Amino acid sequence: MRILAVLLLLPALNNLAGAQRLPTSVIPSHYKLWIDPNIEKQQSSGEETIDVLLAQASNEIVLNSLNLEISSAEVIAGGKTEQAKVSYDQPEEMIRLIVAEAIPPGPAALHLKFRQPHFRTARFVPEQDRAPVLCGYAV
C-alpha cells in the first residue's frame, strides 16, 4: 500500500520540483541594478543590466519577475542592440523577453527599465543605540 501511495505522489512531487525553474540555456553571470524607491508613494523604479551566456541561439529569454512593470527591454549581443517584446506570465511570476532576430550563442546583456507599483515598508529598531532601519519589500 505504501508503494502505491508513493507512486501516486511522484508526479505531484515532480511538478513541484520543476516549479519556478528557469531554462538552463541562459546562464546569468553578473547583475547591475539601480533602484529608486519612493517611500511616500510606496513604489519604486529602476534599471537592471544582466550579463548572460546563451548556450544556444534563441528568440526568447525567460526571467523571474514579481510585480514589475517593464517599460523597456533590450538585448545586446553580437554587436547589435534589439528591442524585446515583454510577455507577462503572472501566475508563474515570470516574464519572457521576445526578439525578432535570434540571439546568437555566447555572451549577451539584457537591459531592463522597470517600475514596481506596490512597495511596502517596515521599520526595525535595533536594541542598541543605533538609528532605525527602513526596509522595503514587494507585495
CA angle, residues 59, 62, 63, in degrees to nearest 5:
145
SS3 11: helix
Mean pLDDT for 22-49 is 88
C-alpha cell belonging to residue 136? 522595503
Beta strands across the sheet bearing 85-89: 58-64, 94-103, 85-89
The CATH classification number of 23-138 equals 2.60.40.1730
CA distance 7 to 49: 44
pLDDT digits (tens, 9 = 90+) for 78-111: 999 999 999 999 888 899 999 999 999 999 999 9
CA distance 139 to 132: 22
Q: What is the pTM of this model?
A: 0.73
